[in-house]
Amino acid sequence: MAEAGAEEKICSSERVEPDSLIEPVHDFSQKQPSKQSQLKCPQCGSDRLYKDGLRYLGDGTSVQRWLCRNCGYRFTDPKNKDRTGWKNPPSGLNPPSASYYSCQGNNDPERREPTARKAALTLATVEKQNEKRAAGATKHTAQQDVKGKIIELLWKLERNGRKQGTIANYRKNLMKMFRQGVNLLEPEDCKAWLAKTGLAASTKRNIAIILDKWFEHLGVAWIKPIYYGEPEIPFIPTEQELDSLISAVGKKMACYLQLLKETGARCGEISNLRWTDVDSEQKTVRVKGEKGSYPRMLPISNKAVEMLKNLPKTGERLFADANAMRTCFYVQRKRVARKLGNPRLQQISFHTFRHWKGTMLYHQTKDVYYVKEHLGHKNLQSTQVYIHIEKAMFRNTELDDYHVKVAKTQEEITQLLETGFEYVLQKDGLAFFRKRK
């Protein structure tokens, strides 16, 4: 019985566990915060961490080791200090006197630290590249959507019968805003760009009209800004400056400019000329109206006829399109202005020839309706600007300083007009002409 009691006592002593070895019971009924989400890298403060295996301590226990994805720093949870409770620390990898964030190999360039840091930095680089690639793909998709909408609008304009010059103007302005980073899907962004740009008020008004059609195509409501174009007096060079420019450019460009000077036509009208529109015998060119102008039959001089005969006939048209000719003209104009030492030539554009012709015609005839018909204007208001220019240019000319000629036949009238005489009146079957001395 004594032995049985002793055996029972031993068994009972084995079942009894000391209070110091009993681990606290955790209540898992409440959601515990993630341990990883509470940790941050002591080196850079990032919470983007990887689990980097276990670290075995000198007492036989282990703790979780972490690797920072941002800077590659390896560390252990500093809260492990409370759990170990060492008073006399054994000889281990990191004694309590060391930083509890430190980890074996972190300060050893010959061992694991370079590899770990390189791996972390590689992962961080890959993640940043993926984020950048995703953002770039989103931006590229948005850009393609905007370009597609622009093409849809241009095709819609063409189906509605708009002219190619108008369609090209829409494309040029919309693509210019797109390349400058303007968000064409946001009306306020477009209005802010339009307000800050240094364009003339008349140009802003035209772009606002284009944007009005653009947002109408997108089905986006917006309030069109109002700009009032202020009229400007165009630059009028002397005839000598025009002739010096014509004589200094290339053969084809010289013929192009000579036709602009003699006809006063728009550059697009000259670019659209075909060889069948030129009558060398009658010394005329048949101009098809552009931008609402009337078609016209315009006279040209013997000089212009000879220049046309010297051009090679490589196709139906005499010249390239207006944009190509304009680009070539800007290059040659700059060279000629520098060569002749006359910076005023830089102000001459294709449309300057039209302004010069309108002013000279009114000065010779004093007939605003004749000038209107010659230039193809539909509105007399467009022609009246040359009256003001002519009065300003010739205000110092003596009124009685003229050569006077009288013509009886059609040949005499034609000869006088070609030599610069202006028609004054007709009386008793005679036509009177005058020309300033």
Q: What digits encode the pLDDT tens for the residues 151-208?
A: 999 999 988 888 877 888 899 999 999 988 888 889 999 999 999 888 888 889 999 9
**What's the pLDDT tens digit per position in 365-390?**
888 888 898 998 888 888 888 888 88
Burial class of residue 382 (count of CB atoms within 10 Å of its CB; 0-12, 13-18, 19+): middle
- 110 token code pair: 């010959």
- CA-wise closest residue to 119 among 57, 37, 53: 53
- 220 token code pair: 């986006």
- CA-wise closest residue to 423 among 435, 408, 409: 435
CA atoms in the 13 A half-sphere facing the CB of 314 = 6
CA dist., res. 350 & res. 105, Å (int):
77
pTM equals: 0.56
**What's the pLDDT tens digit per position in 203-247?**
899 999 999 999 999 998 989 998 887 777 888 999 999 999 999
Alpha-carbon Rg of the chain, whole angstroms? 44
- Concatenated DSSP letters of 348-401: --HHHHHHHHHHHHHHHH--HHHHHHHHT-SSHHHHTHHHHHHHHHTTTS-TT-
Confidence of residue 1 (pLDDT cuts 50, 70, 90): very low
* Pairwise pLDDT comparison (26 vs 219), residue with the higher score: 219
314-344 burial, b at 16+ Cβ within 10 Å, e below that, comes to eeeebbeebeebeebbeebbeebbeeeeeee
**What's the pLDDT tens digit per position in 388-416?**
888 888 776 545 567 788 888 888 888 88
Q: What is residue 9's predicted lDDT score, i.e. its pLDDT?
A: 43
Confidence of residue 146 (pLDDT cuts 50, 70, 90): confident
How far out from the chain centre does Cα 51 lie?
49
* Pairwise pLDDT comparison (261 vs 98), residue with the higher score: 261
Burial class of residue 246 (count of CB atoms within 10 Å of its CB; 0-12, 13-18, 19+): buried
Burial class of residue 179 (count of CB atoms within 10 Å of its CB; 0-12, 13-18, 19+): exposed
CA dist., res. 111 & res. 93, Å (int):
15
CA dist., res. 341 & res. 335, Å (int):
10
How far out from the chain centre does Cα 332 lie?
26
Region label for 343, one of left (φ > 0), alpha (ψ between -120 and 50) or beta (otherwise) = alpha
Burial class of residue 48 (count of CB atoms within 10 Å of its CB; 0-12, 13-18, 19+): middle
- 29 token code pair: 């009924």
